[in-house]
Structures are given as structure tokens and as C-alpha cells.
Chains A and B, each alone.
Chain A
């Protein structure tokens, strides 16, 4: 074997090893969670409210709460995020102002989530008098998700070749028709990926919902958008640190449900992407 071939094999070997180092902790964590939690998973655990100071019963209100928060966050952040990215990429002139906005968006995605939580508390809960409510929580999570959605959408739009826009415009299409029919369809997979990524993060965050929506213990379903809800990550935090004599299997089972929920969301996005590729027309 030549020297170049040997060096190539060493390089590939190293890369494979590093990849394993990345994947291994994830697999171990998942295995640990599943192995410790699967025993506590039952239909009752999923469909019943907690009992006896949360030491028994299920986590149904927290599942519903997290589900509501994800859906609400998506409804608020997806249209705003996608539309503002479309504006930034397709319509805005490249000047100092738009460059500042783009810079701000990138930087916002790096802000710690507790800062968003405090922002939500001061602005939505106190200033807008929404109280600790689903609305305030969703708005806080949406603000946190926006930078990621905007960045992902922006990159997806920018990766669509300029020639696609050129053909459409040369045929007499308006800018919006061009974006709608010749740019967006090709950007949808990237947008979906970014959205699911940011919503997964929103689903698992505790800090932003801590002061804005999450209930310590509320074993019933919310009655309106101004109600509080339990949420899986906060519930997990509570039962892991605040409740003495808590059976460990319940914590792991809760973590398992949260991970499954996020996994389900990713699965839906994959199916949507495949479906969209097949159905695309003019």
C-alpha cells in the first residue's frame, strides 16, 4: 500500500472514531433512560394525573401541557419566523439596517434560555398583564425559537439557486409568485428541519417556562389560554429535586416520555418532508 493510501485509512479511521465518540454518549444516555424508566411506563402513567404528592399516578397533565406549549409556540413562531426570513432574503435591500438585523438574529440564538424566561416574565407576564399563563409561556418560547427558525429559513432560501428566481421572473411572475412557487418549495425541507430543531429545544426547556406558565402541581387540564399548565421538563425538574422519597423510575419514565415526544416530532417532520417532495406541483 502506498503512503497516501495508508494516511487516508488512518484519517478515515480517526474520523470514524470521533463520530463514535459523538454518538456513544447519546446511545448510552438513551439506553440508561429507557432501561430505568420503561418499567414505570403504563397506560395509567400516560393517561392519569399524579397522585400522593406526585409520587404515584401518571403525568397526563404534563404531557398535555407540553403538547399545548409546542403547538402554541409553533403557531406563533412559524409564520413570523418564515415571513421575516423571506423578507430578509428576498425583499430587503442589502444595507446597514438589514445587516444589523441579520447580525442580531444570529446573536439572539446564542442567548441563554433563562434570559428569555426573565424577558417573558417582565414583558408578557407583568407588563402585558397576561399573568403566568399558556399565552405568556408560548410567547416566551416563540421568542426563543424565532432566531433559529429565521436562521434556518434564511439559509434554506439562500441555498435555492438564483437561476430559479431568474426563470420565474423572466416569465413575468411577480416577486411573490416567484417566492411562492419557485423558491419556497425548494426551501421547505430546510425550513422544516430548523423548525423542528427549535421546537424540540422549546419542548425540553425549563427556564423560559419557569416564571411564565409552568405549574408546580396542577393535576387537571387547563381551562383557557390564561390558565397555567404543568409541563414535562419542569415536572421532571420538580420530581427530581423537590419531592423527597420520589421513586427514581418515575423520573426516568418522565424523561423517556419527553424524549419520545421530541422523537415523534422529528418523525413527523421527516414524513412531511418526504410527502412534500412527492406532491410538489407547478
Chain B
């Protein structure tokens, strides 16, 4: 993994919720244009770490972060960070397919409007088409763009959520257990999509599902009680873990 370009580098990262020390001395490098999975038992801090990369923890009161996160060498843990630009560059997909209670068209238009990215009906439609094509939804939905997005299947909704992020041309996509609301077949298809997207984007996925991490990711980080216990290529972490804790977790002895 040394030859991989690093997209995100976290150094001495500590995070506190009030008195609770949720992330402890995290040293972590996310390789560019690859899928990095974060695994670990509930409450280990994997979602919290993910939310550091686009500063979503700012929404939590009494949350304090020390240390450094650099994305393309630019410091993120800094009061002067332009959160709007950061979140455009580092998009996020959540656990529940949380489409807006609006039409498919308007779901995708939202980000374009906010960032004033395109104007004119034709160019907006072309961009929306491009976004839906990226997630394999255009053919299914092209004739009903004005339909409310809540009427779609959960898989379609989650794809739409990914399209809503992709359409803003981000460089990093963070996914927080994106398949936990989906059935196995939909999960496989979303994983397929992620493998296609990694050609253009750096992807970090938090998952509760070890098989998913093994199937889809190139690199895996194992977290436990707020620490990053082990990080390496997925094949190394799963076949030849260096740490006893990792081995026990992967072999299903706790979780």
C-alpha cells in the first residue's frame, strides 16, 4: 500500500463528546481512488471517524476535536475551513436512504442550486441525466423524473442518494452503513456500483457487515473502543491479521 497516493491523512486525531473520549490517537491514511472499509463492533467510533472527514460532528454539541486531518494536504480540523467547499468535495451517504420528500428531479437539483453549478433547463437536465447514469438509474427513471422520490424502492432511493452526492463532482464519498436497510440482492448491486465508482472517487465505507468489507473494499481498518487497532489491505487484514483483537473480531468471537 505504500505506492498508493494518500487522499486523506489523519494524525493524532482525538475526539471528545463532552467527557467521553470517542476517538483516541487515530493515525489513518485513506488511499486515493480505492475503497477503504472501516469495521468494528457498535460504538467503536467508526461512524464518528467517518463524520470527521466532512466535519459533520460539528452538529453535535459539546464535541471537541484535536489533531489533524489533511485532505489533499489541506487541513480540515480548523475553524477557518470552508465547510461548504469541504462538504461539496467530501460527500456523504447515510444509513437510511434519506431522499428529500420531493420529486426525483428536485432531489438532484438541490445540490446544483445550492452550489450554483449549472443553470438553464437543458444543462440542468443533462447534468441530472449524467448523475442518474452514474448510479445506473437513468433508464429506469427517465420517464418519471417528476415522481416523488419516496415512492421508489429502498435500493433506488439509496442509489438516488449516491447520485445526489456524485452530481456535485466530489472527490471523496463517505458511506455510513449504506446497505443496512437493504435486502441482500440490493446490497450486492450497490456494492457493484461502488466498485465502478472507485475508478473516479476515493470511497470510505463504514460497515457492520464483515463480509461486505471483505467483498467490496481494497483496504480495511479495524476499530475497537475508539482506537484504530489495525489497518492494511483487505486481504492482509482478513487472512493474516497482525493484531489478536482483529483476529478475534474477524473470526466472529465478538461483535
Residue numbers of A with Cβ under 8 A of B are 93-94, 163-174, 177, 181-182, 186, 280-282
Contacts and interface: CB of A to CB of B under 8 A. Distances in A.
B94 A282 contact: no
B56 A163 contact: no
Given A166-B56, A166-B94, A167-B100, A172 B115 contact: yes
B102 A171 contact: no
A182 B113 CA distance: 13
Nearest to B87: A172
B61 to A, nearest CB: 7
B16 interface: no
B164 A171 contact: yes
28 contacts: A163-B96, A164-B98, A166-B56, A166-B98, A167-B94, A168-B110, A169-B56, A169-B59, A169-B87, A170-B54, A170-B87, A170-B94, A171-B91, A171-B165, A172-B83, A172-B85, A172-B86, A172-B87, A172-B114, A172-B115, A172-B168, A173-B84, A173-B110, A174-B84, A177-B114, A181-B110, A280-B102, A281-B106
B110 A94 contact: no
A186 to B, nearest CB: 8
Contacts of B194: none
Contacts of B98: 163-164, 166-167
Nearest to B170: A172
Contacts of B102: 280-282
Interface in B78-119: 83-88, 91-92, 94, 96, 98, 100-103, 106, 109-111, 113-115
Contacts of B91: 170-171
A63 B114 CA distance: 46
A165 B238 CA distance: 37
Contact of B110 (A165, A169, A171): A171
Contacts of A177: 114
A94 B87 contact: no
A172 B59 CA distance: 13
B87 A166 contact: no
A159 to B, nearest CB: 14
Nearest to B165: A171
A169 B111 CA distance: 10
Contacts of B164: 171
Nearest to B96: A163
Given A281-B102, A282-B102, A166 B111 contact: no
Contacts of B92: 170
A168 B107 CA distance: 11
A187 to B, nearest CB: 13
Q: Please indicate which of the listed interface residues A171, A174, A177 has the most CB atoms of chain B within 10 Å of its own CB.
A: A171
B171 to A, nearest CB: 13
Contacts of A93: 61
A177 B83 CA distance: 14
A172 B84 contact: yes
Given A164-B98, A170-B91, A172-B111, 8 more contacts: A165-B59, A170-B87, A171-B168, A172-B85, A172-B87, A173-B84, A280-B102, A281-B106
A282 B111 CA distance: 9
Contacts of A171: 87-88, 91, 110-111, 114, 164-165, 168
B114 A173 contact: yes
Interface in B24-38: none
B121 to A, nearest CB: 14
A280 B83 CA distance: 27
B94 A163 contact: yes
Contact of A166 (B59, B61, B106, B113): B59
Nearest to A282: B106
A177 B111 CA distance: 11
B116 to A, nearest CB: 11
Contacts of B84: 172-174
B96 A172 contact: no
A177 B54 CA distance: 18
Nearest to A162: B59
Contacts of A174: 84, 114
A182 B83 CA distance: 18
A93 B58 CA distance: 13
A282 B168 contact: no
A18 B39 CA distance: 56
A258 B115 CA distance: 49
Contacts of B83: 172
Q: Please indicate which of the listed interface residues B94, B102, B114, B115 has the most CB atoms of chain A within 10 Å of its own CB.
A: B114
A181 B109 CA distance: 12
A170 B56 contact: yes
Contacts of B168: 171-172
A50 B65 CA distance: 72
Contacts of B56: 166, 169-170
Contacts of A164: 98, 100
